Structure 1
Amino acid sequence: MLATQYVTGMRWQDLWNERVWSKIGAKNPFICGLAQDGTPLAAGLHNTTPEDLLRFTMIYTPSWNVVSDEKIVSDRLLKSIQTMGNPEAYKGSTEEQYGTDWFGEVPDYNSAQWDHVFNDGAMFKHGNMGQGIYVDPARDFCGMYFGLAPNQDEISGIDHSPGYLRNAAKMLAGG
């Protein structure tokens, strides 16, 4: 975020709204948490409605044109996101264990802010307190969920929602 602000000379949230949010038919503003000096907080505190979040996830699918007149995520960028992860760096990590618990299968790596990426191109981003987005471009599927569960498994149990979204994508695609 800070590099983007430095290179463009724009506040991150203004650039994001100009290049992405304003193009997806969002009904509400994208709200980004800011430090006292106006620095955007990269570690969460991004707020929107479920409907607008799904509009955002759709820009990664073949159905992007349902929410935008312009292709925002190019095929080249999507392929880069899906393939730039390092499976060796992911192996044995805490994220790998989370993914295994959540999905009931081992994700292959993480990449470009996506916490879990599968070799079939599906991607998942987890948020704090029981929320996440799942995008499966090959199956033209996206989904999101949210809740208020603490992150600690010993308090709220294992979050199986990511696995439910992945299974829904597979089932709806006939597999």
Structure 2
Amino acid sequence: MNAEEDPYATPTEDFSVSELKNGYSLSDAQRLHDAWTLEKFLNITESGAYSYFHLSEFLPHAVISRDGPVAELAQARSQIVGNTSLSADTKNIRFEDMITSPDSPVQGVMVVKKGKVVYEMYPGMRRTDRHAWMSNAKVFAGLLIAMLEEEGKIDVQKTVSDYLVEAKKTAWAYIKVIDILNMQTGLDLEENPASRSGNTPYNVFVRAEVGLPAPDGTTYTHNQALYKIPKLREPGERFEYSSANTQMLGLIIEAVTQKRLAELISEKIWMKSGMEGDASLGLSPQGNGIIHGLISSRLSDMARFGMLFTPSWKQISKEQIVSDAVIKKMQTSGISDNFLKGSLGPRLTEEFREQPLSNTYQWDAVFKDGDLYKSGMNGQGLYVSPATNTVVAWFATGFSEIPMEAFSRTIVQRLATPQN
């Protein structure tokens, strides 16, 4: 597939991510702040990388609060992670050699096995930096919906208009919540680098998110742009990835709970998980929590979040926040026949070098062994293996020579061998 045919081809500037491990000078910070645009944020650029650390300079934010003692993670370093190698063309590449090379886009990696840190490396950031999760944040929406299901407050077989009166005269009206969770709405909203910048309903949505007018000059609120997305086909037919789905889930969650998303995430998840720092949630000009991507935190806290889906939850929380039933539901609620339809399923199959079973509850992929994976725009990732009690979390600004997806699954499997 050439660049013209690849909807995931992303414009990329030439700059060194490895230089960011010591932070920014005053002059660089001012230069990159002034150069920032929405396009630079969406693509792989130097000022985009700056904004991944400093989103509150560009958008209003709400605080996701931590509470109580920090759940310190014990260290049990393993050489297996760094020494894991995969092939690229005719050569084998060690994981640590790849992520620490001068041209690597990877900024931080943490691997947690049975509640202990077996690998931690920050080749392009400081350990205490807060970095945008990008679409890794979508799994918060999936989790909150699942928790509200358990509480009997949401029925995913009901439609959007059952929860949001505003949806009744829109294309969203009769779409079931489960079809939004699994990104098979049938609306004209599929997201990739091409649709983010093209003359598309998704481009209108993403521009409204930061207060910019649509390509035709009309200025919409974020909700107006979301509600005006038109129908393309019947729901339930194919996996078509879109942040617009997650934003609709966010509206449903707020309507059901009558609480803001940042407050809800704080109360139900972040305050209970021994997090090292507060997180933040970016807001639209109208105050909408941009739950589809603009959560920022330390890498260690993204790993702690992943631990909530493993038996190691006991090491960071006094209560089981993600129940076994919720995990099972997430592992079994996808539709395999839909996964390779749309553009993301085939891309993930190529990156993992293995076909996942399906997508599910805002996770991009679930495997036959129950492992879960979520990607974030321009190189973020969270891979969780409940069965082997392992989490791999990473931040980046760009894509590695060998996809981090392939390495993350291979690392989990090698750590799970009997001798390890």
Match of 1:110 in 2: 359
Whole-angstrom CA distance in 2 between matches of 1:93 and 1:18 = 36
Among 297, 309, 316, the residue aligned to 1:48: 297
Aligned partner of residue 138 in structure 1, secondary structure: coil
Residue equivalent to 1:59: 308
Question: Secondary structure, in 3 states, of the residue corresponding to 2:387?
Answer: helix
| 1:173 corresponding residue in structure 2 | 416
TM-superposed deviation, 1:157: 6.2
How far apart are 1:42 and its partner, in Å? 3.1
CA distance in 1, matches of 2:367, 2:343: 16
Give 1:29's match in structure 2, choosing from 271, 278, 281: 278
Is residue 320 of structure 2 the alignment partner of residue 71 of structure 1?
Answer: yes
Whether the 8 Å contact between 1:101 and 1:160 is mirrored in structure 2 is no
In the TM superposition, structure 1's runs of 4+ consecutive aligned residues that sit over 3 Å from their partners are: 156-159
1:88 corresponds in structure 2 to 337
The aligned residue for residue 18 of structure 1 is 267
Q: Where does 1:144-159 land on structure 2 (aligned, <5 Å)?
A: 144-149=393-398, 156=399
Shift in Å, 1:101: 1.9
Structure exhibiting the larger radius of gyration computed from Cα positions? 2
Percent identity of the aligned residues? 34
Q: Distance in 1 between matches of 2:407 and 2:302?
A: 18
Query: Could you tell me how far apart the structure 2 residues matched to 1:112 and 1:35 are?
Result: 24
The 1:89/1:172 distance shift into structure 2, 3 A limit, reads same
Q: Distance in 1 between matches of 2:311 and 2:280?
A: 26
Moved more, 23-32 or 68-77: 23-32
Task: For 1:86 and 1:159, locate their aligned partners in 2 and report how far apart those are by CA, in whole Å.
Answer: 28
Measured in 1, the distance between the counterparts of 2:389 and 2:402 equals 24
Letter in 1 for 2:308: I
Post-superposition offset of 1:64: 0.9
Partner of 1:164: 407
The answer as to whether partners of 1:102 and 1:158 remain within 8 angstroms in 2 is no
1:131-152: CA deviations, max 9, x gaps?
1100010111111111111xxx
Matching residue of 1:152: none
The answer to whether residue 380 in structure 2 is matched with residue 131 in structure 1 is: yes
* Gapped regions of structure 1 (runs ≥ 5): 150-155
Give the aligned residue type for 2:257. T
Change beyond 3 A, Cα 1:157–1:135:
closer
3-state secondary structure, aligned to 1:44:
coil
Shift of 1:69: 1.1
Give the structure-2-normalised TM-score.
0.39
User: What SS class does the counterpart of residue 146 from structure 1 fall into?
Assistant: strand
Amino acid at match of 1:118: F
Q: Secondary structure at the match of 1:110?
A: strand
Cα shift at 1:23: 0.7
Contact 1:101 1:158 in 2 (8 A): no
**Unpaired segments ≥5 residues, structure 2:** 1-249
* Superposed displacement of residue 91, structure 1: 2.5
Amino acid of the residue matched to residue 132 of structure 1? G
Alpha-carbon shift at residue 114 of structure 1 (Å): 0.2
**Alignment TM-score, normalising by the size of structure 1:** 0.92
Distance apart, 1:8 and its partner CA? 1.0
| Residue 3 of structure 1: aligned partner | 252
Structure 1 residues 94 and 84, CA gap change in structure 2 (3 angstroms)? same
Contact between 1:103 and 1:162, CA under 8 Å: does it hold in 2?
yes
Task: Deviation per CA, 1:112-146: give whole Å up to 9, x if none.
Answer: 01001101100100001111100010111111111
